[in-house]
Structure 1
Amino acid sequence: MFESSSPTLTWTNVLIGLLFILFDSLLSLVLGLGIGGSLMVAAGRCVLQLSVMGLILDKVFASNNIWGVFGIAALLNVLGAFEATYNKSKRRFSNMFPLILASMLSGTVPISVIGTRFAMSQNPFWKPDQYVPIIGMILGNAISAIGIALNTVHKEFSENKDKVETYLAFGASRFEACKPVGKEALKLALLPTVNQMSVIGLISIPGMMTGAIIGGQSVENAARLQMIIMFMISASSALCTLLALFFSLTTLVDSRCRIRPDRLDSRKPIFYRYRDLAGEKIWKGLKGLKCWGRKENGTEEERRGLLDGRQND
């Protein structure tokens, strides 16, 4: 093992790193991609979210309390379920958020506990500096997998439900009719994880391994740690996605074997609609004030012109 030589980073370093985002925004402007604003908003969210997370985790790590760790794990699952339901999914059904939350809790907590305690030989398993980053990485991949799977299923039922209807018409059960759609969705959801494991170490050096090396661990130990984490990610993503697909398919095909695409809602979530409506009203109000100011200025100029004309007469 060698000593860590990582420097202490300041906000100046972050601003220098932000230049890369500015480069992307400039490239978007030149090529007309139209994503420059989205890049800046995403960068702003990244800075804000990581800053808040850093403050919270600093206190949790310092307290070394099991309930604090479980609280962070629960909070991350709630935020992950929110992201998967309202941001990753283009179509939603009623009670989707609690069902996705149940799927994520059932898939991330057992895998993270078993993997940390036995595969990583951590005792106790809930050591904050070990458990919290791992469950965070597991959740990040689970969110992406669930989003891909549910979007695939919901698109199939909205635009191409003939296959399922044919199976049901020939007497297939709900499980038999939905099985091909579910299998294809699960395969697509796990494909990024499979591809990542295929190139890891050969082409790319993953973030956890890089962090462990920078933190002072030996390269060999960091490589083994990354292997374990990737295996945990694959198992957790599969379990979370499988449960989410079960809830989705049993909602879209009811107990009487009827396809229910009417249960899907492609509109924005209601709080986003209210946000857009409020923003639109504020923008109209600002435009009204601007136009009112211009009108007043024009009236004053006309008044002065008339007065000057009278004086000349």
Structure 2
Amino acid sequence: MGSPSSNEDVELTWLNVALAFGFITFNVIFSYVFDLGVGVSLLVAATRCVVQLAIVGTLLQKVFETDSPWAVAGIAFLLNFMGTFEIVVNKSKKRHQNMFPSVLFSLLASTIPISIIGVRFAMSITKFWEPSQYIPVVGMLCGSTINGVVVSITYILKEMQENRDRVEMYLAFGASRTEACKPILVDALRIALTPTINQMSVLGIISIPGMMTGAILGGSSVERAAKLQMIIMFFLSASTALASICSAWYAISVVVDSDHRIRQDKIYSKSLYDFPFSLSSWGLSTIVGLWHRMRNAIRRTMRSVYKTWVGGFGKKDDRARSGSGAREERAGLLERGLSYEESPPLG
């Protein structure tokens, strides 16, 4: 006999999404009240979330219906490609020469083998390319790996620019570039892996993670959902470590050349279009330009809506401040001996 409280067949509509969007509105108000300056960023990020997930939901539904391993492979590559795009274009404040192909290789070399081996053996799924099983795993691996790659590369490039004296001293005393850069590499990888370690340490005691929650909401038993979450977390840890090692090692090989010289001219903090290695050779310069223009247009629209929406609050505050100022000015006039009629009227 089924439980009367079962919600397995509840259909979620865009109205439900709009109601949940109200929490973002609360964050925007919170940002305005405390002058955090992140209201527009929150609206842009929320809009991106809605658009991207809507597109992904439509696309994945088609892939699930086809049940083709080639379609699954295409989606896996697309996820890694877009993850690389996000790292190089949006996340990294510092970049190095040939960063895009190196990061793309690092992501593919970590997420694809670990997802195939893990789904086939750790999750005991014979048909590992099953879309409903494989694609979510690859997506989670890409999302977790992005953070580790960004942190490791950013740390290495920053240290090479700000603390190059220590590396130059090691090189001057005859150390190879591997020996001279090892302390920086170790620190970068330690920092990149710290969030994953912290996340694993609190699972089950402090937090119930998203994968386990989704499995429970999907009808799986709590025990199976817990085991599945353990497996996924081990996947994430391995993928983050492997991608961070590959990308960080390549970054060091670029910044310190084969002649053991530090090449700061290969580190860039400026616009992506000024790179000696232009993305035009990959056919991406047009896409990057369109993306930046679209993102700026969304930000301008959100900023105007935000200012219009919170403008009423600002006018009320101005009226309150002007009224308070008038009262203070009247009190000062009375203290100086002026009559009540001579004092300026309240606004």
TM category, shorter: 0.7 to 0.9
Separation of aligned partners in 1, 2:87 and 2:170: 30
CA RMSD of aligned residues (A): 1.8
Alignment deviations for residues 157-177 of structure 1 (CA, whole Å, 9 cap, x no partner): 111111111111111001001
Q: TM-score, normalised by structure 1?
A: 0.86
Unaligned runs of 5+ in 2: 274-284, 301-347
Alignment equivalent of 2:24, drawn from 21, 26, 41? 21
Displacement after TM superposition at 1:104 (Å): 0.6
Aligned to 2:331: none
Q: List per-residue Cα deviations over 1:148-193 (Å, max 9, x = no partner).
A: 1111111101111111111111110010011110000000000000
2:132 pairs with 126, 129, 134, which one?
129
3-state secondary structure, aligned to 2:97: coil
Measured against aligned partners, the alpha-carbon deviations of 1:104-163 in whole angstroms (never above 9, x if no partner) come to 100110000000000000111110001000110011010000011111111101111111
In 2, Cα distance between equivalents of 1:167 and 1:104: 31
**Aligned mates of 1:149, 1:89 — CA distance in 2:** 10
Report the counterpart of residue 5 of structure 1 in structure 2. Answer: 7
1:217 partnered with 2:220: yes
The amino acid of 1:39's aligned partner reads L
Q: 2:165 aligns with which of 143, 162, 166?
A: 162
Quote the offset at 1:5 in angstroms.
2.4
Match of 2:253 among 250, 253, 259: 250
Distance 1:97 1:279 in 2: 23
Q: What is aligned with 2:282?
A: none
Superposed displacement of residue 268, structure 1? 2.6
For the pair 1:88 / 2:111, whether they are aligned, the reply is: no
SS of the residue aligned with 2:208?
coil
User: How much has 1:88 moved relative to structure 2?
Assistant: 1.6
1:207, CA displacement in angstroms? 0.5
> Counterpart in 2 of 1:268?
271
Deviation at 1:279, TM superposition (A): 6.6
Correspondence list, 1:1-313, <5 A: 5-6=7-8, 7-270=10-273, 275=292
Partner Cα distance (1:185, 1:260) in 2: 19
Letter in 1 for 2:73: F
- CA distance in structure 2 between the aligned counterparts of 1:27 and 1:145, rounded to whole angstroms: 30
How far has the Cα of 1:82 moved from its partner? Answer: 0.9
Give distance in 2, aligned partners of 1:162 and 1:19: 51
Seq. identity, % = 51
Corresponding letter in the other structure for 1:138: L
Q: What CA distance in whole angstroms lies between the structure 2 residues aligned with 1:26 and 1:57?
A: 35
Unaligned runs of 5+ in 1: 284-313
Residue 205 of structure 1 deviates from its aligned partner by: 0.5
Runs in 1 of length 4+ with deviation above 3 angstroms? Answer: 271-276
In 2, Cα distance between equivalents of 1:269 and 1:201? 42
CA distance in 2, matches of 1:245, 1:200: 28
Aligned to 1:310: none
C-alpha distance in 1 between matches for 2:140 and 2:77: 14
Deviation string, structure 1 residues 262-281 (Cα, Å, up to 9, x no partner): 111101322678947x979x
CA deviations on 1:10-54 (whole Å, 9 max, x unpaired) are 000001000100110111111111110000000000000000000
Amino acid at match of 2:50: V
SS of residue in 1 equivalent to 2:95: coil
- Report the CA distance shift for 1:214/1:279 in structure 2 as closer, same or farther (over 3 A): closer
Aligned residues: 279
SS at match of 1:123: coil
Separation in 1, partners of 2:41, 2:243 = 29
Q: Please state whether the residue corresponding to 1:259 is helix, strand or coil.
A: coil
Distance in 1 between residues matched to 2:162 and 2:205, nearest whole Å: 40
Query: Aligned equivalents of 2:54 and 2:37: distance in 1?
Result: 28
Which amino acid is the alignment partner of residue 64 of structure 1? D
Return the alpha-carbon distance in structure 2 between the equivalents of residues 122 and 188 of structure 1: 34
> What amino acid maps onto 2:22 in structure 1?
L
- Give the letter aligned to residue 5 of structure 1: N
The one-letter code matched in structure 1 to 2:95 is R
Larger mean CA deviation between 3-12 and 41-50 belongs to 3-12
Superposition TM-score, scaled by structure 2 size: 0.78
- Partners in 1 of 2:210 and 2:241 — Cα distance? 21
Report the AA paired with residue 25 of structure 1.
V
Give the whole-Å Cα distance in 1 for the aligned partners of 2:115 and 2:296.
41
In structure 1, what is the Cα distance between the partners aligned to 2:49 and 2:19? 15
